[in-house]
């Protein structure tokens, strides 16, 4: 019983800390935030589950309040989690007009990609992919706020779906995305050889590709970067984790090249809060925020800049990543 009186290390900090402190670096704060990979439905669901008495009651309100005065310009929402149903259309339709984006989204540009209907198409559930699921994706591809196909790919870490089926579904989706001219949002984990083989066999070398939340070997990334001239590497808060050295090593290699870092900044929210963020909120020492969100992107840029050094400060990293987001998704 005595243990119940001790402060838990997993205590959820008050909701107010999700709104984040001001950035100390004025040049970084001046750079607009473009989050190229976030899961809004999951992020909002996590918020409501962790803050039962939370003050925000729908996704639009969450975005307007959490991103208020954070200089968030655009988000790319990723649909690959359950339940989806027709929720994707509701959110996408709510961003069709400039008036709606100003009123409902607080002036933020909402875009999305889809590689599913729900968990059925993500590599973890590739075994459930079928014609009906594919028709749902194809329907979404025609929406004016859709900027890509994904996430899709191979995940051998958990092997929740047989590898042969994962590969079959991956190739099937790639063919459709290429036919439609849609940028690719790729999920790959511990599947380097098969991912590389399939991409090189089925994707033109000039196609636009976003390798999302990269954590595999730098050598693998370099082979892809050399072959696909419009391929970019997604950097999330996982770059700040001591368990992951690959991402930092890769970024260092990229900045040493003549063309500089071919990176995109993303949160993969609600996952992977940047660990360096806690330096800015010492008041919650011993606790951890229960979710990540788009306004945390500057801390990813700050950590990345710290790893690569001059002349790449945090503002320059953010600026380059935003230019790359325009190149891949047309988002700016």
Which residues are known binding-site members for a divalent metal cation?
151, 187, 212, 268
Kindly provide the b/e burial profile for residues 44-62, where b requires at least 16 CB atoms within 10 angstroms of the residue's own CB: bbbbeebbeeeebeebbeb
- Neighbouring CB atoms inside 10 A of 255's CB total 22
From residue 187, alpha-carbon distances to 7, 59, 94, 113, 210 in Å are 38, 25, 27, 13, 9
Peptide bond into 311 cis (omega under 30): yes
CA angle 81, 317, 301 (to 5 degrees): 50
What are residue 114's phi and psi, to 5 degrees? -140, 140
* Dihedral, 98, 101, 103, 106 alpha carbons, nearest 10: -130
CB 77 within 8 A of CB 115: no
| CA proximity to 300, closest of 221, 253, 241, 259 | 241
């Amino acid at each position: 019983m005595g243990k119940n009186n001790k402060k838990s290390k997993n205590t959820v900090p008050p909701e107010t800390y999700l709104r984040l402190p001001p950035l100390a670096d004025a040049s970084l704060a001046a750079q607009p935030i473009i989050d190229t990979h976030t899961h809004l439905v999951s992020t909002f669901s996590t918020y409501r589950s962790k803050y039962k008495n939370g003050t925000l009651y729908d996704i639009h309100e969450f975005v307007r309040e959490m991103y208020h005065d954070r200089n968030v310009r655009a988000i790319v929402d990723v649909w690959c989690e359950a339940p989806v149903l027709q929720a994707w259309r509701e959110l996408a339709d709510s961003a069709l007009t400039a008036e709606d984006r100003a009123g409902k989204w607080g002036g933020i540009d909402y875009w999305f990609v889809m590689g599913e209907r729900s968990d059925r198409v993500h590599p973890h559930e590739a075994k459930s992919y079928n014609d009906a699921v594919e028709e749902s994706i194809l329907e979404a591809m025609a929406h004016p706020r859709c900027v890509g196909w994904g996430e899709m790919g191979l995940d051998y870490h958990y092997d929740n779906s047989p590898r042969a089926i994962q590969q079959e579904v991956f190739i099937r989706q790639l063919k459709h995305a290429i036919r439609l001219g849609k940028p690719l949002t790729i999920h790959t984990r511990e599947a380097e050889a098969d991912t590389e083989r399939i991409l090189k066999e089925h994707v033109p070398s000039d196609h636009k590709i976003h390798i999302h939340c990269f954590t595999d070997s730098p050598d693998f990334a370099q082979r892809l970067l050399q072959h696909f001239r419009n391929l970019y590497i997604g950097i999330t808060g996982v770059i700040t984790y001591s368990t992951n050295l690959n991402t930092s090593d890769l970024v260092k290699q990229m900045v040493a090249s003549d063309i500089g870092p071919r990176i995109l900044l993303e949160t993969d929210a609600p996952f992977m809060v940047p660990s360096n963020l806690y330096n800015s909120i010492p008041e919650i020492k011993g606790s951890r925020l229960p979710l990540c969100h788009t306004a945390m992107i500057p801390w990813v840029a700050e950590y990345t800049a710290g790893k690569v050094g001059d002349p790449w400060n945090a503002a320059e990293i953010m600026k380059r990543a935003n230019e790359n987001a325009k190149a891949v998704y047309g988002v700016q």
